[in-house]
Amino acid sequence: MKEKRVKILFSLFFLGIILLFARSFQLQILKWDKYSMEVQELSTRIVKDSPKRGNIYDRNGNLLAWNQRIYNLTNLGGTLSEETEAELYQVLKDVVDNPYTIIDKLNFQKRVNLEINSVTAQKIASIDKNLQVEERYIRKYAHESLYHVLGYVDNEGTPRSGLELVFDKKLQGQPGYKMINIATNESVSPTIANAHSINGNNIYLTLDLDLQIKAYNYLKENNYNGSVIISEPKTGEILVLVSYPSVDPNLFAQGMSNLEFQRILNDNNMPLLNRATSALYPPGSIIKPFVAYAALEGGISPQATINSTGRYDLKNSQGNIIASYYDWYTLGHGETDLVKSLRASVNSYYYWLGENLGIDYLKSVVDRFDITSKTGIEIPNEKVGIFPDPSWKYEKFDTIWYPGETLLTYIGQGYVTMTPLQILRIYNILATEGEYYQFSLFKREEDVFGNIINKNVPLLRDSYEMNTEYLKYIYKGMIEVTSFSGPPGEEGTAYQSFSDFPITVAGKTGTAEVGGGKPAHSWFAGFLPANNAQYSIVVIIENGGMGSTGAAPIAREILDDLVEKYHIQ
């Protein structure tokens, strides 16, 4: 019986040996590929090698957006040993404020970003095989005025708005990867495989950073909410695109708390609104050069005159006054022709045009020149303007159009709204005798070696047949706006700002009523030199009062800077 038990035990032991051998054979021979891969996967990590995002420069090579190097420190293992913590403290004590904060984050959050140099980064990487040090970058911006143009890249490296988002494929580059062996001993290199990243291309914009900052500061110093835009009419290139107030894009790039973001969102001055492209304003008298040209095309003689008494009476078919409208100069401008109507901004003349030509005629010219459509600039979220007529009003409000609304439309009031950029497009068309080169902020793209990959070619998007004889009258009136001296009601509305300016400017002021007891919006737009336009400008000051006293002086300051820098003659 005893011998039988021994045989059974021996048989069970022998069977166990056979099963163990069979299992070992299966694991090590038959399924070696599968299980060796699983073991390797357990002991390796794939680490992304982020490319360096391309820089953004202005037209003169000044940095607008660039990358500041930081190091991402990751704990690939468990809680750090006391020895590792002690060594980390010694390395970090002279380069960060509180090394223990960094150590705690590595133990609990497993990751921390450090602004350290490469030598310190290498020291940290050599302390412990579980400490992975990755070089990465955060985005930096040259000035707060660039937010509405560039947008920003967040602290995770994701473009969120503006040209950073539009040109992301050009700027982002191609990521690489490293395969790291985290179970290796110190005598073996932890890097198994390495595919290097390819840095992004650099973008050059048409902006002039110096002029951009100065224009922004002119608004900031005067506490004016508004916008300034300068372009080249013959190319469409934008030198200045300012919207004030703005926010510093660096706040978004480095990351902000929810409380800080809510404070920006709830700011009554709406710093996130791009006033140049996404804010709609009544244009007021700034639209008069366009209306005057339309009137000439409609058969109005440039020599035809009206007598401005300071009040214009709208009468019905029986000759009864149904409404009265007023000039800004309440004593009246006297005998007024087309040129004087522009020079002195005589509303009565345009009320008279409205009665004679009607709303349908003006709307047909507006549609032909497409003045309220998007301009095509690269910045996202550009708004479409409004130029009303009876059908628009009926569709919008289910009510009829009144004769007085025609008169208000002819002076850029009533329901008319446009963006500052759309206004500038009108002035570029006037300056070029009918050509609109699409607005652009992109100048060229270069790779990391300085090779030009792509460059902007001015795009003639629209070409209109315009009567050059008619335009001479428009130019004359606009030149007198800035150069004609005289008594009140006769003098050019921007003469006080431009009387000693070295270049002849063809310009126009605008004072757009907004209602609600608020001051009017203040406008100035024009181009220079008047006889061969190289640059155009539009300025709007929200609730800035009269165009002659609000926007025109700001325009003069920035044009002084422009003339001095580019030696315009």
The answer to whether 510 touches 539, Cβ cutoff 8 Å, is no
The first and second tokens of residue 61, run together, are: 């090579």
Determine the average pLDDT of the residues in 449-459.
95
**Strand, helix or coil for residue 131:** strand
Place of tokens 């293992």: 77
Say how far apart CA 41 and CA 181 lie, in whole Å. 9
Query: 149-163, 179-193, 460-474: which has the minimum mean pLDDT?
Result: 179-193
Among residues 340, 102, 21, 66, the alpha carbon closest in space to that of 200 is found at: 66
Phi, psi of 76 (to 5 degrees): -85, -10
In the structure, what pLDDT confidence band is assigned to residue 240 with cuts at 50, 70 and 90?
very high
Q: Which residues contact 348 (CB under 8 A, 6 or more apart)?
A: 306, 308, 309, 311, 312, 325, 327, 332, 333, 336
Indicate the burial class of 485 (C-beta count within 10 angstroms; 0-12, 13-18, 19 or more): exposed
**3-state SS, residue 423:** helix
Residue 448 has pLDDT above 50, yes or no: yes
- What is the residue-wise DSSP string for 305-373? -EEE-SEEEEE-TTS-EEEEEE-SSTT--EEE-HHHHHHTT-HHHHHHHHHHHHHHHHHHHHHHHTTTS
Whether the upstream peptide bond of residue 502 has omega within 30° of 0, thus cis, is no
* Structure tokens that stand for 301 in this block: 């003689």
Q: Range with the lowest mean pLDDT among 156-165, 179-188, 285-294?
A: 179-188
> What is the C-alpha separation between 522 and 543, in angstroms, rounded?
7
Query: For 8-22, 119-133, 442-456, which range has the lowest pLDDT when averaged over its residues?
Result: 8-22
Distances (CA, A) of 383 to 72, 183, 420: 41, 57, 11
Tokens at 233, concatenated:
């009419």
Token digits of residue 416? 């008319």
Taking all residues of the chain, what is their mean pLDDT, rounded to a whole number? 91
Hey, what are 414's tokens?
């009533």
Asked if residue 76 lies in contact with residue 45, where contact means CB atoms within 8 angstroms, the answer is yes
Q: pLDDT by residue (tens digit) across 14-54?
A: 666 776 666 666 656 665 566 555 555 555 666 667 788 99
CA 288 remoteness from chain centre: 28
Would you place residue 186 in the very low, low, confident or very high pLDDT band (cuts 50, 70, 90)? very low
End-to-end CA distance of the chain: 123
The torsion region of residue 255 among left (phi > 0), alpha (psi -120 to 50) and beta comes to: left
Angle of CA points 180, 183, 185, to nearest 5°: 100
* Choice among 94-103, 201-210, 359-368 with the minimum mean pLDDT: 94-103
Alpha-carbon distance of 407 to 413, in angstroms, equals: 9
Residue 399 token pair:
């009510």
Mean pLDDT of 529-545: 97
Enumerate helices (H) and strands (E) in the chain, giving the number of each: 20, 23
Contact between residue 124 and residue 131 where contact means Cβ atoms under 8 Å apart: yes
Which residues are paired to 460 by β-bridges? 437
Q: Which residues contact 566 (CB under 8 A, 6 or more apart)?
A: 535
478 touches 536 (CB < 8 A)? no
Pairing of strands 435-437, 131-141: unpaired
Contacts of 249 (CB under 8 A, 6+ apart): 139, 141, 144, 146, 147, 150, 151, 152
Token pair of 517, please? 């007891």
Strands 202-205, 56-57: pairing kind: parallel
**In the chain, how long is the greatest CA-to-CA distance?**
140
Please give the sequence-ordered ranges of beta strands (E in DSSP) within 222-273, or none if there are none.
226-231, 238-244
Nearest 5°: phi and psi at 106? -70, -30
Lowest mean pLDDT among 84-93, 176-185, 413-422: 176-185
Question: In angstroms, what is the C-alpha Rg of the chain?
Answer: 35
Model confidence band, residue 138 (pLDDT cutoffs 50, 70, 90): confident
Q: Which domains does the chain have, with CATH numbers?
A: 46-183+191-205 (3.90.1310.10), 212-244+281-434+464-566 (3.40.710.10)
Mean pLDDT of the region 120-144: 87
DSSP E strand boundaries for 425-494: 435-437, 442-446, 452-455, 460-463
Per-residue model confidence as pLDDT tens digits over 502-526: 999 999 999 999 989 999 999 999 9
